[in-house]
Every structure is written in C-alpha cells, then in structure tokens.
Amino acid sequence: MNPQPEIDSNARPAPLSFWAALGFWLKLGFISFGGPAGQIAVMHAELVERRRWISERRFLHALNYCMLLPGPEAQQLATYIGWLLHRGWGGIVAGGLFVLPSLFILVGLSWLYMAHGQLPLVAGIFYGLKPAVTALVLHAAHRIGTRALKNGWLWAIAGAAFVAIFALDAPFPLIVLGAALLGHLGGRYAPALFTPGGAHGQARPQGHGPALIDDHSPTPPHALFSRARLARVLLLGLGLWALVFGLLLARWGWQGTLTQMGWFFTKAALLTFGGAYAVLPYVYQGAVEQQQWLSGAQMIDGLALGETTPGPLIMVVAFVGFVGGWVKQVCGPDALLLGGALAASVVTFFTFLPSFVFIFAGAPLIESTHGNLKFTAPLTAITAAVVGVILNLALFFAFHVLWPRGFGGPFDWVSALIALAASVALFRFKLGVLPLLAACAGAGLLLKLWSAQ
C-alpha cells in the first residue's frame, strides 16, 4: 500500500508560498537520517513524488552538480532547490534548517557525553540504531540506483566505481574525474546512452505528474546567470568569512583555539569530496594528532553520534568543536558548556559557509545547462559512479556493525537480525524513517537492559 495521500497526477500543484516551504525544510532537518544517500532519497520521495515541487530531471540535474562539489551534497541539494523555488532566502532557509537541528541536538548530546560520561541508556539506543542506519543506506543505494542506472553502460560505470573505491582504495575525486571523462566521451560518441532518460533518449514515465518546476519550465529570472551576480555572491561569501575570522583573530589571536578551528575547518570544507568519510582522516589527523582537541576514542564516539542524529554526517565536526572548546576551556573553567557550544557553532559556520557560496555562485550556470547534453552526459556518468560509492559505504557500515572487533572477532548475530528486520521493513513494507529508527532504538535498549540483568 502507498501511505502517501492521493494527489491528482494530471494537475499542476498549487503555487508554493515561502512559509509553506519553510515548514517542510524545518521538518526535513529533524527527519534527515541515514546519511546523504538516505537524505537524498527522502527529498526525492517528498519533493519529486509526493509534493511535485520539482521534476525528476531537474532534481537529478541539481543533484549531479552537488555531487561534484566539496561538502555535504544533501545539504547543498536542499539549498539548491530552496534557492530555485524562493530565491536567496529560500536557499538560506533550506540549507540552514538542514543543519541547525543537528547542531542543537549534537550540542546537547555532546554536553551529556562530556559532563556525565558513558551512559548505558545511550549505549543501548546506539546499539539498535547502527544496524538500522546500515539498512537505510543500502535501501537508498537501491532507490537511487534503480533511477540512475538506465542501461548497461551506466551499470558498468557504477560497478567500476565500486571496485575502484572498495578494492583499490581510489580517492573519490579521481573516481569523479574518471566518470566525468567517460560521460564526456559517451555524450560525444554514444549520446543516446548518456541522456537522462537512458538508452532511447527519453525519460521513462515516472507517473508523478507535472511539477511546479517541470522539465521544460523556463529558468526563473533570479536563477539566470550573470557575471555581476556571480561577483556579488563571491564578495559576500568572502566578506562573511573575513568578518567572522577577523573577530576571532582580534579576540583570541592566531594561536587561539577558536581561530585555529576556523582556519582548519575552512580548509577541511574545501576537501570534503565524497562526503564525510572522505575527509575524516584529515580531520582526525588535525584535530586529534596535531591540535589535540580530543582523543582518538572520543573521535570514534563522535562519529557514532553523527551517524545516529539527523543532518549531514559531516556534522560530526560539531562534536569535535564542542569537545575541543570544552577541553581547551575557551570561555574559562566556569563556562565549559558555553565554550563547547561556541566552538561547535564556529566549526559549523566555517564548514558550511563554502557550501552556500558554491550553490549561489554556480547554480545559475548549472540551470542554463539542463538541456545541453555536453554538460548533462558527464553528470549522468558521475551519478552512476556515485551509486557504486554509496554501495561501498553501505558495506563499510555493515562491516563495523556486524564485526565490531574486526573480522578476527565474533560475528554480532543480534545486530545482523536487527539489520535484516530493518531491511525487510524498508524494502517490503515501505516503513518510514522515524518509525524504523524508533523501533530499532527501542529494540537495542531492551536487549542491553536484558543482557545487563
């Protein structure tokens, strides 16, 4: 059964107000579990299938651009669509609300972690959530793959990308460049294979009906490219960065913890090709080994928190910032919570500011290319490659959940059963994200309480 309300598939949706969109973006910020793959799948189901704010092709075209950028692609996609619907403020609200709920939740959980230590209650909840997140990523890889891999050549690109990252440990930027080159050559010599619709050059009917921003809707005036607008965006972005960084520099000096965090996470934000896991080694090296803002064990605990809270997984940097601000006592020994919260906010600002600049600066140019095969063929190939990368991420989760001590340790049959049940609930019964996570968290808590008796 389809749980979504019946909508006339032949009628164009009513015009969308800014405040109605704001309500959805706020809701999305609290339900965006499952990492980038799950978050993109949720946005596709809501924005393309159910609400029909944007068509399939326009959605995938925006997604392809976001996949090229450093930074969290799901948050950038929300920013892109919000900007397309309601200009600059629409993009700021969509992208900001994708992050802020996660920031507030992580600040609260980080305070519990630092002030009260390891809690058995939290450990039990995490035990049930980890297999659920594994199932969510696998389900999202399946959903995106069935829509993006329209012919054997795209399947081959996805398979090659999986082998490259899984077996050869190839860097994600190299995979993106290789896929883009294949797409460029394919668009030139076999264009029918690299059109958004697949081998026959036409999109397969999705049955969603017309959208507010449809395949052939003209580009809105605010989304038209101009050099003057590009210059304004770049100047504003650089100005905001310089203003905040200058304030930190004036207050704490170059060696100050918050100043060093701002500088370090600015560099990290420009290296996050391939999502959070691609940049985590860099963050670990800088935050743990060089700056000693937290320990290696604390970094692993922070990653667990990031995996099981809404928002982009790269929000684990907020935990890094909080612990560093707490340990370094940036606001003094009597204001540890304030220091941690301030550091988490500083880190979040410098991590996500480039993402907004990339969208507002580059999206107008991308909007002018959605009917041009010269641009769409490389992006189509990149989307296929990303499917293979997402599958690798699902296996990465599965390994750490099912063999928590490595292959040399015992196999966790209980986690395997939870993951299997979660997969059946997603694939067979189409269970929503929040009910699934609640059920798995409850199961994990009950199992830990039972085993402790």
Amino acid at 354: P
Residue 323: closest CA among 136, 129, 181, 111: 111
pLDDT of amino acid 426? 86
Q: Identify the pLDDT of residue 173.
A: 65
What tokens appear for 201 in the block?
């050059």
Burial (Cβ within 10 Å: 0-12, 13-18, ≥19) of residue 363: buried
Q: How far apart are CA 207 and CA 144, in angstroms?
A: 17
252 residue type, one letter: W
Which tens digits make up the pLDDT trace of 76-94? 999 999 999 999 999 999 9
pLDDT digits over 340-383, tens only? Answer: 999 999 999 999 999 999 999 988 888 766 555 566 677 778 77
Q: Give residues with Cβ within 8 angstroms of 292, minimum separation 6.
A: none
Instruction: Give dist(CA 155, CA 306) in Å, integer.
Output: 31
Q: How far apart are CA 52 and CA 46, in angstroms?
A: 8
pLDDT of amino acid 199: 38
The pLDDT, as a whole number, for residue 9 is 58
State the Cα–Cα distance between residues 375 and 210, nearest whole angstrom: 24
Q: Six-digit token pair at 31?
A: 């339900």
Nearest-angstrom CA–CA distance, 60 and 194: 13
pLDDT value at residue 4: 45
Task: Find all residues with CB under 8 Å of 91, minimum gap 6, and list them.
Answer: 79, 80, 82, 83, 356, 359, 360
8 A C-beta contact, residue 265 and residue 351: yes
Q: At what angle do helices 316-327 and 296-307 cross, to 10 degrees?
A: 140
Task: Give me 283's structure tokens.
Answer: 């963050």
Residue 329's CB is within 10 A of a number of other CB atoms, namely 14
How far is Cα 381 from Cα 142, in angstroms, rounded to an integer?
17
pTM summary value: 0.69
Encoding tokens for residue 441?
């968290």
268: Cβ contacts below 8 Å, ≥ 6 apart? 279, 282, 283, 286, 317, 351
pLDDT of res. 3: 45
Task: Please report the pLDDT score of residue 71 as a whole number.
Answer: 79
Q: DSSP assignment, residue 370?
A: T
> Cα(72)–Cα(321) distance, rounded to whole angstroms?
18
The closest alpha carbon to 105, from 25, 33, 42, belongs to 33
What pLDDT score was predicted for residue 5? 46
Look-up: residue for tokens 């099912």?
Answer: 402
Give the whole-angstrom CA distance, residue 371 versus residue 196.
Answer: 10
pLDDT at 1: 38
d(CA 315, CA 421): 28
Return all residues near 48 (Cβ < 8 A) that are at least 6 apart. 54, 55, 56, 59, 206, 208, 211
Per the document, the length of the chain is: 453
- Amino acid residing at 12: R
What integer pLDDT is reported at residue 344 of this predicted model?
A: 96
What is the DSSP secondary structure assignment for residue 311, as one 8-state letter? Answer: S
Q: Quick check: helix, strand or coil at residue 198?
A: strand
Q: What is the pLDDT of residue 321?
A: 95
Tens place of pLDDT per residue across the chain (453 aa): 344 444 455 677 778 889 999 999 998 888 776 567 668 878 888 888 888 888 888 888 888 788 777 778 889 999 999 999 999 999 999 999 999 999 999 999 899 888 865 566 767 777 787 788 778 778 877 877 777 788 888 889 889 988 987 888 777 667 878 888 888 888 788 777 776 544 333 334 455 677 788 777 777 888 788 888 899 999 999 999 999 999 999 999 999 999 999 999 998 888 665 556 556 667 777 888 788 898 876 776 777 677 667 888 788 899 999 999 999 999 999 999 999 999 999 999 999 999 999 999 988 888 766 555 566 677 778 778 877 877 877 787 788 778 877 777 888 888 899 989 988 998 888 887 668 878 888 888 888 778 766
Residues 375, 109: Cα–Cα separation, whole Å: 43
